[in-house]
Structures are given as C-alpha cells and as structure tokens.
Amino acid sequence: MPLKKITKKEWIKKGLPETITNIHVGPYYRWDNIKKDFKKPIIIVTQERRRRKPKGIK
C-alpha cells in the first residue's frame, strides 16, 4: 500500500482533524516461536499521545 503525500488543504477537505498529531509508520516484526526467528514485517501506524496529569496535581 503506497503512501501519498497531501497538503493541509486536502487533509482538511477530507474531514480529518486540523490539530497536529505525531504519527509513526513503521514495521512490526512478530516472533515465530517454532522457527525461533522473526516473521515478515507488518506495517503499523502508531500515534504518540501526551501523558495526562493525574487529577489533583498542578
């Protein structure tokens, strides 16, 4: 699945959120217990989230 670079205007036109988020696209290697080796990589997308402060702490 090829990734396509789009502009901010196209992003907003598709109805996606305007706020900035950090997205990482990378491979995930699953361990094969039988062969004792890694399987073929799977492309995954992860989103970094800010840590929330516990309530009551300023």
pLDDT score at 11: 81
In a domain, 4, yes or no: no
Range of the domain at 46: 21-50
In a domain, 15, yes or no: no
Residue 1 in any domain: the answer is: no
Determine, yes or no, domain membership for 9.
no
Beta bridge partners of 31: 38
For residue 21, pLDDT over 70 is answered with: no
23 has a pLDDT exceeding 80: no
40 within some domain = yes
Position with higher pLDDT, 22 vs 8: 8
Number of domains in the chain: 1
Does residue 5 sit within a domain? no
User: pTM here?
Assistant: 0.38
* Any domain includes 16: no
Of 8, 29, 33, 28, which is closest to residue 18 (Cα–Cα)?
8
Residue 41 lies in a domain: yes
